[in-house]
Every structure is written in C-alpha cells, then in structure tokens.
Amino acid sequence: MPSKLSLLSLFLISLELQLLTSSIAKPATFVQDFHVTWSESHIKQFDNGTAIQLLLDQNSGCGFASKYKYLFGRVSMKIKLVPGDSAGTVTAFYMSSESNESRDELDFEFLGNRTGQPYTVQTNVFASGKGEREQRVNLWFDPSREFHDYSIFWSKRQIIFSVDDIPIRVYKNNAARGVPYPLSQPMGIYSTLWEADNWATRGGLEKIDWTKAPFNAYYKDFDIEGCTAAGQAECGRASNNWWDGPTYQQLDQVQARKYRWVRVNHMVYDYCTDRSRFPVPPPECLAGI
C-alpha cells in the first residue's frame, strides 16, 4: 500500500502536469472549438461534428473560425479539396491576429484548377502588417481524391508549413536582420471557401464554370496544440512547451531533405527570386534553411 508521502508526490506531479498543459487545446469536434463566421447554410456537419463540408455556389461561399486565439504551437486539419473543374475557387486555411494594419497572418491558399491540371498551394506570411511573401507549390498528388494533412507549426524560432508532414515552406525568425516576425500577437484559426477567379487560376485567366457548382471541400481531424491567448504571458517566455524544445529549433536531416525535394521539383513561384517585384532580394531570403 503506497505511503502518504508517495501519494502526496503523485498528487503534486499530477497537479504540475495539469498546470503545464492548461493552455493546450486539442479539439474533439467542430462545435467544441470552432464556429461559423460566414453563411451557416453552406457548412454541414458529419460524424457527430468531427467532420464538415464547405460549399460554394453562386449565392455564397462560407467560412469558419476557432473560438480562441493561440500564441505558438501547431495546428493541423485533414482536408479533401474541391474535385473536378475547380478553377477560380480558393480554399483557405490560415491563422490571423486580425489586427488590421499590424496584423500577423500565416496562410495556406489552395488555388483551384482546370480538370487534369496540378493543384497549386500558395503560402504567405504577414508580420506586423507586411506580407508579399508568396510562395507557390504544385502538389504532387490529387488533393481532391482523399484527405491529406495540412499543418502550420509556429514557434519563436521558425514557422513551418507542411503537407502530410513534408515541409513545403520554412520561414525563420530573422528579427536580427530587421525582418518582422510574429512574436506577440495571438492568432485565431480560420478557413474559407470562396470565389476568386479574378486572380486564383492562371492569374485570373481561368474563370469559374458555375455549371459545375456547387463546389465542396471536406474537413476532419481538427487538431490544435498551442497556448491560448489567456496564457500568452507564459507562452511568450521560456517554457516547457514542446515546440520550444531543441528538437524543434530547425529541420532535422530527413525533413531538410524532403524540403529540398519540394523546392527543386514542385515549387513554381518564390517571391525571393522575383526580380520584377524585388530587384534586391528581401533580407530573409538570404537566410536559407
């Protein structure tokens, strides 16, 4: 039979673990951690709220957002994108502080295509209101046939956009070079399905074919591991959060190899090499992996 001392020790350990994880959220259902922000009639829930469908037609697109904002961590969703002729549509999954001129934002934007053409994913990073850091990658699979995992990792050192745990974009903290980096503003999690045929597919040359409507995207397995805004004072300094650990300070060798493979074989646009927009490369572009 355990002694009173050992029982007390177990209680203290349990209490400590609860305190360490009190700012961690791991959603179980859509209703629990998200809410509809736009056109509720165009979002349907399935499987007891663990999966949803977004719909776009000529009347409206739709969107949803997390009930809380987070500072650092990792958020992921499994998404099955709009199938068939999806030109002119955009399915977006992003984080944003929604602070107007000074907003921080981390974007996944899935740009619809004509049937048979590659699906393009555009990523962008806004920090202190400054964006214009677009990169585009053609996905190496058809993302409308099955669910795939899309995640955003955000720490004080780096931001990583991943597809099925393969890094497709790394944005490091280059504050020392005078480059803004999202460090202090909690961000909510958002997703939308909307019409953007003025720019989304081939720069707006391909328009939406409304005879193919409605357009549907599907989501499941929502997962958030991050500090809520209420706990940001603790998250902003050195802590025991897993994303601050040495393992997550940079890509490991396997991740770095996958990242190079994506950049060599599947990247179709990088603002860092666009001399028409940036005759002098932005300073963060010189940092490499």
Q: State yes or no: is 225 an active-site residue.
A: no
273 inside domain: yes
Closest CA to 133 of 172, 99, 98: 172
Region of residue 96 (left: phi > 0; alpha: psi -120 to 50; beta: else): beta
CATH number, domain containing residue 158: 2.60.120.200
7 inside domain: no
168 inside domain: yes
Q: What is the DSSP letter of 208?
A: P
pLDDT digits (tens, 9 = 90+) for 62-115: 999 999 999 999 999 999 999 999 999 999 999 999 887 899 999 999 999 998
Q: Which of 16, 40, 101, 105 is catalytic?
A: 105
32 inside domain: yes
14 inside domain: no
48 inside domain: yes
pTM: predicted TM-score of the whole model, two decimal places: 0.88
61 inside domain: yes
Q: Which of 16, 40, 98, 109 is catalytic?
A: 109
pLDDT digits (tens, 9 = 90+) for 153-191: 999 999 999 999 999 999 999 998 889 999 999 999 999
Query: What one-letter code names the amino acid at 129?
Result: G
Number of structural domains in the chain: 1
158 inside domain: yes
Residues spanned by the domain of 124: 23-286
The 10 Å Cβ neighbour count of residue 13 is 10
Q: State yes or no: is 195 an active-site residue.
A: no
